[in-house]
Amino acid sequence: MNFATGFVNSLIITAFGVLLVLVFSAMTAYLFARFSWKINKVLFFIMTASMAIPFQVVMIPLVTIYGTIGFFDSRESLLFMYCGFGCPLAIFTFHGFIKGIPVALEEAASIDGCGRIRTFFQIVLPLLKPVISTVTVLDVLWMWNDYLLPSLVLQSPELRTLPLSTFNFFSSYSVDFTPLMAGLIMTMLVLMLYLFLQKYIIKGIVAGAVK
């Protein structure tokens, strides 16, 4: 197990994956919450409905389609898929919270000369800290510990994440349990993040539940 390489790969993929999900989800949820377009209602329904579909259902078509066009075996491909699979839940969470933010704040910013983009980043986004903490912790735990999707996308040894690296201790006829346990302990250290931030997870979900 090359712990250093696996740690760096996991860190890069998790950091950029969470950042992409946060930015795109917050902006999309803002669009859905503030613009009463019919297409927005349809798209929001499709995104929320997609959360009911298990990954195993789309796993084979995903490998078939993207494998055919040579889209695998790169961090960018994995980040693209993490963004796609992670955005629906994040959009649903952001959407409920944004609906509770008074529109008067944005109207006041508009009177002062702020455009839509500036209003979002300077007025709305700072108010989303509870939900940002919730989505961040949930997605960090998911991306850091995920094994199935990286095992399908990443084939090169130098691109393996920590969960993939620990699989090196398994062979066809035996398992080297001693280093395997040590590797698993080091891999799961990120779970300590949940223990310290679990109150923010509950706060963020409850804050958007009654809006």
Residue 46 confidence class, pLDDT cut points 50, 70, 90: very high
Structure tokens at 162: 């920590």
Say which CATH superfamily domain 3-207 falls into.
MetI-like (1.10.3720.10)
Tokens of 129: 């800290």
- Asked if residues 94 and 112 have their Cβ atoms less than 8 Å apart, the reply is no
Residue-wise pLDDT tens digits, 87-109: 999 999 999 899 888 889 888 98
Convert the pLDDT of each residue in 163-181 to its tens digit: 888 877 776 677 777 777 7
- Domain range list for the chain: 3-207
**Among the listed residues 40, 135, 46, the one whose alpha carbon sits nearest the alpha carbon of residue 90:** 135
